[in-house]
């Protein structure tokens, strides 16, 4: 079997603490299953800035390009607040996203049974929830030009952002949505605002055409994004895969995520286009949370988001579906045993450290 090349980028704050727990799992899989993971580690974010004066070096970018997948911890912190904009820690992550062309951002919203009671929604609304928000990540209003504030000369200013999508951008994100749905419950809900936005009209047309041409076996539904937001909170279990643009996806994925969990529980994946020769996609996996400077270095951070991100890596980069299921089940089992890190602790449960949580999950795997 050929090596599975992973680039580990722990980053700043709690990033390295969380990554250490994933390492335990990688080591175990290599020893017990001969999984063949070959890991390299590099600096990203503030720690890279301190070492090299840039938040991600060219050498390490080359490593990321040649890896099968990148595991990313978190970057940033007050130490680097005054650093110039171009070399701030987040610029390291933005460089990775841009140069690996990671246009598809996957955010699952899964309800672990043991945590259902602590959601802000009624238990029966979210119990058993397992949906996936797919957000277009490299286009739309966050990047469209013109993007500026101009002086109108009469004491007024005008701010302009441009929502812009080309056909190919919609085609490729739609394809990812349908392919993901085929591995799940075979349903895609596409969300836009075709009633008031031209980009929504084109989005709707292209998704409909791709569906008809290549994915007619998948159920497709269209929903206006505002109504979609309402439905997400009213009855989220009606969805399987939701596909939407960068702006709506930013908001809807945060809403969906918070249906079920704490920030310390939420994984994500960002995928690029398939390589023309090998068919393999570039990919980066990271927890949704940041570097949590307020709790860094205390061994109290929740490593589950990072570990669940690794499970996504197994699933989407290495087709190790059984192993991904096992990791997710190990997380659910440990939670069901009443074990909690501080961020998800409530009365009657047993508090554990970051390292203990990692050990327990590895032991269940």
Residue ranges for the binding site?
A: 77-90, 97, 107, 135, 226, 250, 254, 290-302
Cα distance between residue 67 and residue 60, in whole Å = 10
Site residues for Mg ion, 237-256, by CB under 5 A, read: 250
- Residue 263 interacts with which of Mg ion, ligand NAI, none, CB < 5 to 8 Å by class: ligand NAI
- Residue 267 interacts with which of ligand NAI, Mg ion, none, CB < 5 to 8 Å by class: none
- Is 280 an active-site residue? no
- Is 193 an active-site residue? yes
- Is 250 an active-site residue? yes
Cα distance between residue 244 and residue 106, in whole Å = 11
Feature table: binding site for Mg(2+): 226, 250, 254
Catalytic residue among 12, 49, 165, 193: 193
Instruction: Indicate the DSSP class of residue 349.
Output: S
Query: CB-wise, 132 or 360, nearer to Mg ion?
Result: 132
Q: Helices 354-364 and 304-317 sit at what angle, rounded to 10 degrees? A: 40
Feature table: binding site for NAD(+): 77-90, 290-302
Nearest residue to Mg ion by CB is: 250
269 and 283 in contact (C-beta within 8 Å)? yes
**Pairing relationship of beta strands 219-224 and 241-244 according to DSSP bridges:** unpaired
- Is 187 an active-site residue? no
- Residue 55 interacts with which of ligand NAI, Mg ion, none, CB < 5 to 8 Å by class: none
Residue 90 within binding range of Mg ion, rule CB under 5 A: no
Instruction: Indicate the DSSP class of residue 280.
Output: P
- The footprint of ligand NAI (CB under 6 A) covers 14, 74-77, 90, 93, 263-264, 286, 289-295, 301-302, 305, 343
Tell me: cis bond preceding 146? Omega within 30 of 0 counts: yes
Cα distance between residue 222 and residue 242, in whole Å = 10
What minimum distance in Å lies between the beta carbon of 358 and ligand NAI?
A: 12
Query: CB-wise, 22 or 243, nearer to Mg ion?
Result: 243
- Residue 250 interacts with which of ligand NAI, Mg ion, none, CB < 5 to 8 Å by class: Mg ion
* Widest pairwise Cα distance in the chain: 72
Q: Phi-psi category of 20—alpha, beta or left, where left has phi over 0 and alpha has psi -120 to 50?
A: alpha
- Is 285 an active-site residue? no
What minimum distance in Å lies between the beta carbon of 260 and Mg ion?
A: 16
What minimum distance in Å lies between the beta carbon of 181 and ligand NAI?
A: 27
Tell me: cis bond preceding 244? Omega within 30 of 0 counts: no
Instruction: Indicate the DSSP class of residue 275.
Output: P
Task: Output the CA–CA distances (angstroms, integers) from residue 323 to 210, 273, 313, 319, 352, in the order listed.
Answer: 31, 24, 10, 9, 25
Catalytic residue among 166, 254, 325, 337: 254
Feature table: binding site for substrate: 97, 107, 135, 226
What minimum distance in Å lies between the beta carbon of 133 and Mg ion?
A: 12
Q: Is 270 helix (H, G, I), strand (E, B) or coil?
A: strand
Catalytic residue among 50, 161, 250, 359: 250
Angle at 327 between CA 323 and CA 331, to 5 degrees: 165
Catalytic residues: 142, 193, 226, 250, 254
Q: Provide the binding-site residues for Mg ion, judged by CB under 5 A.
A: 250
């Amino acid at each position: 079997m050929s090596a599975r090349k992973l680039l580990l980028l722990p980053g700043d704050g709690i990033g390295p603490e969380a990554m250490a727990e994933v390492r335990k799992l990688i080591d175990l899989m290599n020893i017990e299953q001969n999984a063949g993971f070959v890991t390299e580690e590099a600096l990203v974010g503030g720690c890279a800035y301190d070492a090299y004066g840039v938040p991600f070096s060219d050498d390490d970018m080359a490593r990321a390009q040649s890896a099968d997948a990148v595991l990313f911890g978190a970057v940033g912190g007050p130490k680097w607040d005054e650093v110039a904009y171009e070399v701030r820690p987040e610029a390291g992550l933005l460089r990775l996203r841009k140069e690996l062309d990671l246009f598809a951002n996957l955010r699952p919203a899964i309800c672990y049974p043991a945590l259902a009671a602590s959601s802000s929604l009624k238990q029966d609304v979210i119990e058993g929830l397992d949906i996936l928000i797919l957000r277009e990540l490299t286009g739309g209003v966050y990047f469209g030009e013109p993007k500026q504030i101009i002086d109108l000369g009469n004491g007024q200013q005008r701010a302009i952002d441009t929502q812009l999508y080309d056909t190919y951008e919609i085609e490729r994100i739609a394809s990812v949505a349908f392919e993901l749905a085929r591995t799940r419950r075979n349903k895609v809900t596409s969300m836009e605002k075709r009633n008031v936005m031209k980009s929504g009209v084109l989005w709707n047309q292209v998704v409909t055409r791709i569906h008809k041409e290549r994915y007619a076996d998948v159920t497709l539904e269209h929903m206006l994004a505002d109504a979609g937001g309402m439905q997400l909170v009213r009855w989220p279990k009606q969805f399987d895969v939701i596909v939407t643009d960068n702006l709506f996806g930013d908001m809807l994925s945060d809403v969906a995520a918070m249906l079920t969990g704490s920030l310390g529980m939420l994984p994500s994946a960002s995928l690029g286009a398939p390589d023309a020769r090998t068919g393999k996609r570039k990919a980066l996996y990271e927890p949704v949370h940041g570097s949590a400077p307020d709790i860094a270095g205390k061994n109290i951070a929740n490593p589950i988001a990072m570990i669940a991100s690794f499970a996504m890596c197994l699933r989407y980069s290495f087709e190790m579906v059984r192993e991904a299921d096992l990791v997710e089940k190990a997380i659910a089992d440990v939670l069901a045993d009443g074990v909690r890190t501080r961020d998800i602790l409530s009365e009657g449960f047993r508090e554990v450290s970051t390292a203990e949580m990692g050990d327990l999950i590895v032991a269940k795997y």
